């Protein structure tokens, strides 16, 4: 039955459930407060623990031992609520992440501090990339944990204390100010009753009340600790659909956005183990998918193996429609494109200009020719679109 509907069988028999809770296998992974990872929230509750954060397994430092991350400041927010210098530091910890530093709702206003600790001034421009790669977390006054004091200072954040926020041994909140002593009530002096007076004239009925203006619409409210990342049509990753709608953008697909420019300088192994990204693109292996930041949907190519196509990565770009309304899609090879009944526009990956949003490329003039027959000023401006290209300017036809 699984082969009939194009689903790869995991093993014989029914899918397992956990304990007596009837929890299904798989789903959205979570990290519990006991420091252990579970397949989903139901399994964590069945184990008698609560969820610390969802959308990713617990962070692990072992993956960062043999990985050299660049000293580049492009802050991302990990699923564990820590602001990392760039996506590489979250990726090696096997964490899901979103673009930009972590943001928490403002806590209730505390009593004014008598002598707030001085905060070092932010470093001059250009020094932010000099922060080291050693993980020495600090807790900011905004309640967000930052990768290091240097990163927090670069982002202009005040540091409350060393160590992550909410860590054991944190200083207790200051005691409330003592209340002033209550004064005894004044003595009651009974006065003689006043003389009787004539009844006052009747008052006119009050004028009718004016209708109150309608209440303003409530502010955008999203569930806390809901981490199911989506990619907006503006090519920005959001922790969930609610926050994407609050930002005024539609959801392009579920999962983190793919940023091909992030793979510049990454040396992935030359092995053929294709995986399917949430953006519908088949990547040669998990390394090439992970460096873009895209969420991996499943192992194997995106096109079901119903046409007998091989996994040879000879990418082609197909076009549906013409002009500005054309929709371009990258397939693993021509066979996969024919299987999807798509028309091949050119050989190589499709160009997606939205991938260059937020990318600062050098003003270097070293032209390359994209497989879309467009000439780019340098390889960075071509790579951020994801298009395949060759070195040198495009040759003029005719």
pLDDT in tens, the chain (398 residues): 444 434 445 456 555 445 567 777 666 788 898 988 888 888 888 888 988 887 778 888 776 776 667 666 778 888 888 888 877 788 778 787 776 788 765 555 555 554 444 544 544 444 566 677 777 888 888 888 888 888 888 788 888 888 888 754 444 444 444 455 566 655 555 555 666 666 666 666 666 665 554 444 455 777 766 777 888 888 788 888 888 888 888 888 888 888 776 776 666 777 778 888 888 788 888 888 887 888 887 777 776 556 777 767 788 888 888 777 778 888 878 888 888 888 898 888 888 877 777 677 888 888 999 888 889 998 888 888 888 888 889 987 65
Quote the domain boundaries for residue 51.
Answer: 23-62
Please state, in angstroms and rounded to a whole number, the distance separating the CA atoms of residues 28 and 9: 20
Task: Note whether residue 393 is domain-resident.
Answer: yes
Please give the structure tokens belonging to residue 100.
């930009």
Q: What CATH code is carried by the domain that includes residue 298?
A: 3.30.60.30
d(CA 256, CA 275): 15
Shortest CA distance to 224 belongs to which of 81, 23, 97? 81
Domain annotation covers residue 91 = yes
Nearest-Å Rg of the Cα atoms of the chain is 30
**Residue 280 falls inside a structural domain:** yes
So what's the pLDDT on residue 311? Answer: 67
Rama region for 391: left / alpha / beta (φ>0; ψ in -120 to 50; rest):
beta
Domain-embedded: residue 2: no
Phi first, then psi, for residue 62 (nearest 5°) are: -65, -30
Please tell me whether residues 292 and 314 are part of one structural domain: no
Q: Which of 27, 89, 99, 25 is nearest to 59 (CA)?
A: 89
For the chain, report the end-to-end CA distance as a whole number of angstroms: 55
Domain boundary residue among 7, 38, 62? 62
Query: Tokens representing 30?
Result: 């979570």
- Which CATH number fits the domain that encloses residue 316? 3.30.60
How many independent structural domains does the chain possess?
6
Q: Which residues of 166-200 are buried (b: 16+ CB within 10 A; e: fewer)?
A: eeeeeeeeeeeeeeeeeeeeeeeeeeeeeeeeeee
Residues 80 and 46 occupy one common structural domain? no
Which pairs count as long-range contacts for 172-177, CB under 8 Å and 24+ apart, including other chains? 173/110, 174/110, 174/111, 174/113, 176/111, 177/111
Q: Do 135 and 148 meet the contact criterion of CB atoms below 8 Å apart?
A: yes
Q: Which residues contact 232 (CB under 8 A, 6 or more apart)?
A: 238, 244, 247, 249, 250, 251, 252, 257
**126 occurs within a structural domain:** no
Q: Which residues contact 57 (CB under 8 A, 6 or more apart)?
A: 29, 30, 31, 37, 94, 95
Residue 121 lies in a domain: no
Residue 263 in any domain: the answer is yes
> Is 388 inside a domain boundary?
yes
Final residue before a domain boundary, out of 102, 125, 159: 102
pLDDT the model gives residue 376: 92
In this structure, the answer to whether residues 344 and 368 fall within a common structural domain is no
In angstroms, the CA 176 to CA 196 distance is 53
Sheet containing 251-254, strands listed edge to edge, beginning at the edge strand earlier in sequence: 237-238, 230-232, 251-254
């Amino acid at each position: 039955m699984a082969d009939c509907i194009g689903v790869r069988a995991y093993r014989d028999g029914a899918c397992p459930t956990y304990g007596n809770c009837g929890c299904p296998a798989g789903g959205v992974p979570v990290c519990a407060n006991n420091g252990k990872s579970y397949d989903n929230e139901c399994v964590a509750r069945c184990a008698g623990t609560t969820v610390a954060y969802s959308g990713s397994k617990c962070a692990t430092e072992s993956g960062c031992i043999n990985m050299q991350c660049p000293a580049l400041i492009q802050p991302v927010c990990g699923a564990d609520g820590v602001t990392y210098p760039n996506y590489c530091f979250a990726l090696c910890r096997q964490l899901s992440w979103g673009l930009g530093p972590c943001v928490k709702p403002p806590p209730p206003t505390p009593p004014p501090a008598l002598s707030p600790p001085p905060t070092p001034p932010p470093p001059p421009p250009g020094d932010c990339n000099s922060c080291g790669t050693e993980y020495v977390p600090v807790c900011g006054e905004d309640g967000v944990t930052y990768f290091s004091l240097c990163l927090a200072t670069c982002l202009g954040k005040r540091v409350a204390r060393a160590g992550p926020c909410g860590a054991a041994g944190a200083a207790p909140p200051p005691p409330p100010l003592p209340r002033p002593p209550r004064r005894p009530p004044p003595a009651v002096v009974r006065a003689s009753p006043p003389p009787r007076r004539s009844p006052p004239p009747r008052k006119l009925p009050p004028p009718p009340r004016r209708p109150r203006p309608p209440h303003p619409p409530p502010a955008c409210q999203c569930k806390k600790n809901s981490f199911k990342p989506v990619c907006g049509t503006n090519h920005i990753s959001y922790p969930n659909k609610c926050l994407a709608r609050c930002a005024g953008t539609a959801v392009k697909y579920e999962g983190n956005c793919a940023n091909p420019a992030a793979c510049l300088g990454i040396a992935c192994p030359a092995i053929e183990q294709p995986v399917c990204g949430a953006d519908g693109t088949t990547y040669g292996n998990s390394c090439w998918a992970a460096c873009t930041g895209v969420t991996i949907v499943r192992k194997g190519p995106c096109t079901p193996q119903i046409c007998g196509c091989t996994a040879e990565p000879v990418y082609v770009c197909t076009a549906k429609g013409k002009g500005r309304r054309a929709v371009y899609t990258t397939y693993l090879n021509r066979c996969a494109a024919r299987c999807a009944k798509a028309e091949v526009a050119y050989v190589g990956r499709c160009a997606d200009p939205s991938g260059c949003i937020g990318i600062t490329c050098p003003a270097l003039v070293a032209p390359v020719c994209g497989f879309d027959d467009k000439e780019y000023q340098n390889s960075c401006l071509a790579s951020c679109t994801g298009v395949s290209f060759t070195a040198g300017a495009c040759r003029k036809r005719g």
